[in-house]
Amino acid sequence: MEGELDAAGYPDFSLTSAIVDDTLYGLPTGGNATAAFVNADVFAQAGVPLPEEGWTWPDLVAAANEIGSAGLANAAGDPVYGIDLRVQDILGTYAAQVSEVGMYDWDGSLGVDAEDIAGWYEIEERLLEGGGLPDPSIVTANWQLPPDQQPFTLGQAAVTFGYTNLMTAYSAAGDVRMLLPPTDTDLSGVALLPSAYWSVNAASPHPQAAAMLVDWFLHEPAAAELILDTRGVPFNPDTLEVVSPHLEGPALTAADYVGRIFDEGVVAPPQPAGGSIMNELSQRMETEVLFGRLSPGEAAEQWAEELGAALE
């Protein structure tokens, strides 16, 4: 079977979630990566220059605050915000920018400290104080909205963060561009997240034939032309090269972005079992900061204490 399946072409960080005890148990069908989505129409309406690759978090704060304070409205007459923010869509990327390993280390422990996370909540605080974020009640109400109902999709925000597979939905907002998220370090913090894996049952009576079938689905050009990006943008560069010419519009934009992440992405240790509370905890601490009940430092200390305890 090993001779039939070659993982050499896959970026290391696309395989980490399928490795247990140094053994690779599957190859990814494809997947997505975190991106910054920028509505060029809103930037033009506000007279604010579009961000460029290599932008920083202060660049984002300045642009979002200027746009959010401009008193703009979308076509439906609803207010335009500087940023449509869901903390769970960007905190992991930010953590991977400011720490050596990201949110978790390879032993399943916390990879960031309270000071790192406080830096993120300070960014949110500056966005709120400067007008980039809407009222905290709106921020928290938007957490669970489906993509087609989110303010960014409705033309009510200049910037949002999300995964590349949202490009089709977000393109309804107008002239939407996809950029690497801002960073204040030399790391993008972006990792590829597989949508599914192909594996072969260890008890299969026909392991070689099964491996050949998996190889056909993942690497055969004829199969790639049929599957395209329905199981995520292919993570094998050769397969992506076959698929990309058959894509167009938002799907092609997403594929081009994923192709860039092959070179600029980071290796992220997989989420340990206790990490399942991270999204809820991050939202809860965000609420405390935005409503002024905790400082960024206090919220980050509680975040680190609760998540650290869950990982133990």
Question: What are the contacts of 298-305 at 24+ separation with CB within 8 A?
Answer: 299/117, 299/118, 299/121, 300/114, 300/115, 300/116, 300/117, 300/118, 300/120, 300/121, 301/114, 301/118, 303/114, 303/117, 304/110, 304/112, 304/113, 304/114, 304/117
In a domain, 184, yes or no: yes
Q: Which of 15-24, 77-86, 156-165, 211-220 has the lowest mean pLDDT?
A: 15-24
In a domain, 294, yes or no: yes
- Please, what sign has the CA dihedral across residues 50, 54, 59, 61? positive
Highest-scoring range by mean pLDDT, 20-24, 79-83, 144-148 = 79-83
- Residues sharing a CB contact under 8 Å with residue 178, sequence separation 6 or more, in sequence order: 35, 36, 37, 38, 164, 167, 253, 254, 257
Coil, helix or strand at residue 5: coil
* CATH code for the domain in which residue 138 is found: 3.40.190.10
In a domain, 266, yes or no: yes
Please determine, for residue 1, whether its predicted confidence score (pLDDT) is greater than 60. Answer: no
Looking at residue 59, its amino acid is D
In a domain, 254, yes or no: yes
pLDDT digits (tens, 9 = 90+) for 131-140: 999 999 999 9
In a domain, 250, yes or no: yes
Predicted TM-score (pTM) above 0.85: yes
Q: Which domain holds residue 14?
A: 1-304
Coil, helix or strand at residue 76: coil
In a domain, 167, yes or no: yes
Overall domain count for the chain: 1
pLDDT digits (tens, 9 = 90+) for 198-245: 999 989 999 889 999 999 999 999 999 999 988 888 888 899 899 999
Angle at the Cα of 302 (from 121 to 61), degrees rounded to 5?
0
In a domain, 312, yes or no: no
Cα Rg of the chain, angstroms? 20
